[in-house]
Amino acid sequence: MVSPFYFFVVIVSYPLVKWPFRLRALGTANIPREGGFVLSANHVSNFDPWPLGIPLWPKRQLRFMAKVELFRSPLWPILKGAGAFKVHRGQRDEEAMRTAIQLAREGEVVVIFPEGTRREKGLAKKFQAKPHTGAARVALAAGVPLVPAAIAGTDNLRRFGPLRVVYGPPVALDDLQGQEPREAARVATDRLMTAIGELEKDL
């Protein structure tokens, strides 16, 4: 379900993203038409959810984690209306995970960036931090698809993009159901990161 605030924000920002920032979305046919799923992409900017979510509008709204400190600021009504829910950064937040699983089961699109924090520009992949398994854990626990995506251009907004996003087919998870949860999440995360890396080549 799309909240009125989310609907309003997208209507206002769509012309800006579509033309000055030249947003181009590929692979939208890979997005599940019904039911919840976890959407997981590379992370280069705080603006990543913007181009990631607009191609799914008006049918779907993104739900994403935001650090709990932001909910103690005057921004909290905006964050809530935009689809954010609380997470305690720097610690294993089981409450946030339970919320994400429940949202996915209820048919929501839950966005989780496996890199956790934004990727430093120009940093080689081998020096990146080890990816988090949260996206895979949520998808496996909720029994929903894990959809990889790749984003480019959000770290270059001063030059007006261009913004590019590509969505890939869901990561194979069926063979991991029933396995030890930690190992299943690790294998699924490896598959996810490989898929994201391949999609980045298309940008």
The candidate with the shortest Cα–Cα distance to 33, out of 122, 145, 177, is: 145
Task: With a cut of 60, say whether residue 121 has pLDDT above it.
Answer: no
For all residues of the chain together, what is the average pLDDT? Answer: 86
Least confident stretch, 43-52, 96-105, 161-170: 43-52
In the predicted model, what is the mean pLDDT of residues 165-186? 96
The candidate with the shortest Cα–Cα distance to 54, out of 156, 170, 149, is: 149
Q: What pLDDT is attached to residue 160?
A: 77
**pTM for the predicted model, two decimal places:** 0.87
DSSP character for 47? T
Task: With a cut of 90, say whether residue 1 has pLDDT above it.
Answer: no
Task: With a cut of 70, say whether residue 88 has pLDDT above it.
Answer: no
Q: In angstroms, what CA-CA distances link 98 with 18, 93, 129, 185?
A: 35, 9, 24, 15
DSSP character for 140? H
Q: What pLDDT is attached to residue 130?
A: 85
Q: What pLDDT is attached to residue 203?
A: 86
Can you state the angle between helices 134-142 and 181-200, rounded to 10 degrees? 120
Which residues are registered as beta bridge partners of 149?
41, 167
pLDDT higher for 74 or 102? 102
Task: Please check whether residue 137 is in contact with residue 185, taking contact to mean a CB–CB distance below 8 angstroms.
Answer: yes
At residue 21, φ and ψ (nearest 5 deg) are -95, -5
Task: With a cut of 90, say whether residue 188 has pLDDT above it.
Answer: yes
Domain 4-200: CATH architecture, name and number where available: 3-Layer(aba) Sandwich (3.40)
In which band, very low, low, confident or very high, does the pLDDT at 90 lie, cut at 50, 70 and 90? Answer: low
Q: Which amino acid, residue 116?
A: G
pLDDT higher for 11 or 166? 166
Task: With a cut of 80, say whether residue 120 has pLDDT above it.
Answer: no
Query: Is the four-CA dihedral 199, 101, 33, 81 of positive or negative sign?
Result: negative
In which band, very low, low, confident or very high, does the pLDDT at 157 lie, cut at 50, 70 and 90? Answer: confident
